[in-house]
């Protein structure tokens, strides 16, 4: 039987059916109904955020957060090339220019020591990513942003359920985007949110996600449609009840991997930052001077129906839509990581025997 890189977590079938029963009574399927509002309240507490605005997916949440700050066209935003395409696309689709900063070789997050040399009069913000749930150096990034009067917008897609110094990770910065995609630790099938403390962002983010409509005959803003529907919200309400249990199971899988792969020459495992409560979202491995290349390990696992993922590969500058504008050699640490990283299967129900099988193939 094949082993996939991830498997979506689902609540018991009967629990979800019970949760959506009243939708059949109200016929309220979308447009910020009771389920939407209930999930929003749960998330405000969970994410230590004064405000949560729910979205149909995380990408539109990030795109709208950036739009809400109304930066001048062609302004520059410093960000990482070691990320999913969404991070960069959200910047570009707002008419802004990504400036790629290299990453730290251990955390694989944006390297704060390389940010300031990239700041120009056109720089308006920093968009770091908590890669694999590795928490960025939020203190140093915050210091640099304050010094240069820049906004900090975190792509916290991987950080749901994590705390840093007893504070929810998405609560840092001026705002954070969190993804609730089916592959994430917490899912609403598709979905995501903007998490923030600033009262002034509430109206504009709600305008942006709902056509700018403020009343039956009032449209105040040129917005789009990015609303979370009631079935997504109901899935989130159910999955929230099982979140702690699922994270506990993920961390057990993580511990078995570490037991088998730690201290193996040529294999670098995901770092664990002090004062962070991890969510076990991913198990990335870097093959640096290992006896086999990353691609050879990937192919051997696939030959035995184990489907790992080269995540993130390639770096963003090497995507077809950006390669004529940027040079990935400008961020050599990120490029090397992308060429050597492999995310191994990780989900709560992965068994000890399955982890041992995966590791035995790698070590063999």
Q: What is the mean pLDDT of each run of 10 residues along the chain (364 residues)?
A: 96 98 97 97 98 98 98 97 98 98 98 98 98 98 98 98 97 98 98 98 97 94 96 98 98 98 96 93 97 98 98 98 98 98 98 98 96
For residue 187, what pLDDT is reported?
Answer: 98
Structure token digits, residue 169: 């990770």
**Residue 21 belongs to domain spanning:** 13-241
Closest CA to 170 of 137, 194, 199: 194
Based on the fold, state whether residues 294 and 237 are members of the same structural domain: no
Q: What is the pLDDT of residue 272?
A: 85
b (16+ CB within 10 A) / e for 242-275: bbeebbebbeebbebbeeebeeeeebbbbeebee
For position 342, what pLDDT does the model report?
98
What pLDDT was estimated at residue 142? 98
pLDDT of 229 reads: 98
Domain boundary among 241, 275, 297: 241
For residues 203 and 326, membership in a common domain is answered with: no
Same domain (yes/no): 271, 182: no
Q: Contact, 219 vs 270, CB < 8 A?
A: no
Helix 243-261 to helix 352-363 angle, to the nearest 10 degrees? 30
Residues 237 and 250 in one domain: no
Last residue of a domain, one of 202, 217, 241: 241
Please give the full DSSP string across 44-64, using - where no structure is assigned. HHHTT-SEEEEESSHHHHHHH
What is the structure's pLDDT at 46?
97
Can you give the length of the chain in residues?
364
- Same domain, yes or no: 292 and 192: no
Do residues 233 and 252 both lie within one domain? no
**Domain with 37 in it: what CATH number?**
3.40.640.10
Alpha-carbon distance of 314 to 311, in angstroms, equals 8
Q: How high is the pLDDT of residue 328?
A: 98
Domain final residue, candidates 241, 271, 298? 241
247 plus 222 within the same structural domain: no
Q: 201 and 64 in one domain? A: yes
Please state whether the predicted TM-score (pTM) of the whole model is above 0.85.
Answer: yes
Q: Are residues 86 and 76 in the same domain?
A: yes
């Amino acid at each position: 039987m094949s082993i996939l890189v991830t498997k979506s977590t689902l609540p018991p079938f009967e629990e979800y059916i019970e949760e959506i029963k009243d939708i059949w009574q109200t016929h309220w399927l979308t447009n910020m109904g009771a389920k939407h509002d209930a999930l929003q309240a749960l998330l405000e507490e969970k994410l230590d955020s004064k405000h949560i605005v729910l979205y149909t997916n995380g990408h539109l949440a990030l795109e709208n957060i950036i739009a809400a700050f109304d930066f001048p066209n062609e302004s520059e935003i410093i960000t990482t090339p070691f990320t999913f395409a969404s991070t960069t696309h959200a910047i570009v689709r707002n008419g802004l220019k990504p400036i790629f900063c290299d990453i730290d070789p251990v955390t694989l997050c944006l390297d704060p020591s390389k940010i300031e040399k990239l700041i120009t009069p056109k720089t308006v913000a920093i968009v770091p990513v908590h890669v694999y749930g590795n928490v960025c150096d939020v203190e140093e990034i915050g210091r640099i942003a304050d010094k240069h009067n820049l906004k900090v917008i975190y792509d916290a897609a991987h950080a749901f359920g994590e705390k840093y110094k007893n504070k929810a990770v998405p609560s840092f910065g001026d705002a954070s985007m969190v993804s609730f995609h089916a592959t994430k630790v917490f899912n609403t099938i598709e979905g995501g949110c903007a998490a923030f403390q600033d009262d002034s962002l509430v109206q504009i983010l709600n305008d942006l996600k709902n056509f700018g409509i403020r009343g039956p005959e009032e449209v105040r803003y040129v917005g789009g449609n990015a609303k979370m529907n009631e079935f997504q919200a109901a899935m989130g309400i159910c999955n929230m009840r099982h979140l702690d249990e699922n994270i506990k199971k993920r961390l057990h899988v993580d511990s078995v991997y570490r037991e088998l792969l730690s201290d193996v020459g040529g294999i670098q495992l995901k770092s664990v930052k002090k004062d962070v409560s991890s969510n076990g979202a991913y198990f990335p491995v870097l093959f640096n001077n290992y006896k086999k290349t990353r691609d050879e390990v990937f192919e051997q696992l696939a030959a035995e129906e184990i489907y790992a993922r080269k995540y993130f590969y390639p770096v963003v500058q090497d995507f077809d839509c950006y390669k004529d504008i940027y040079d990935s050699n400008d961020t050599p640490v990120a490029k090397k990581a992308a060429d050597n990283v492999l995310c191994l299967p990780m989900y709560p129900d992965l068994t000890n025997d399955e982890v041992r099988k995966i590791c035995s193939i790698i070590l063999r």
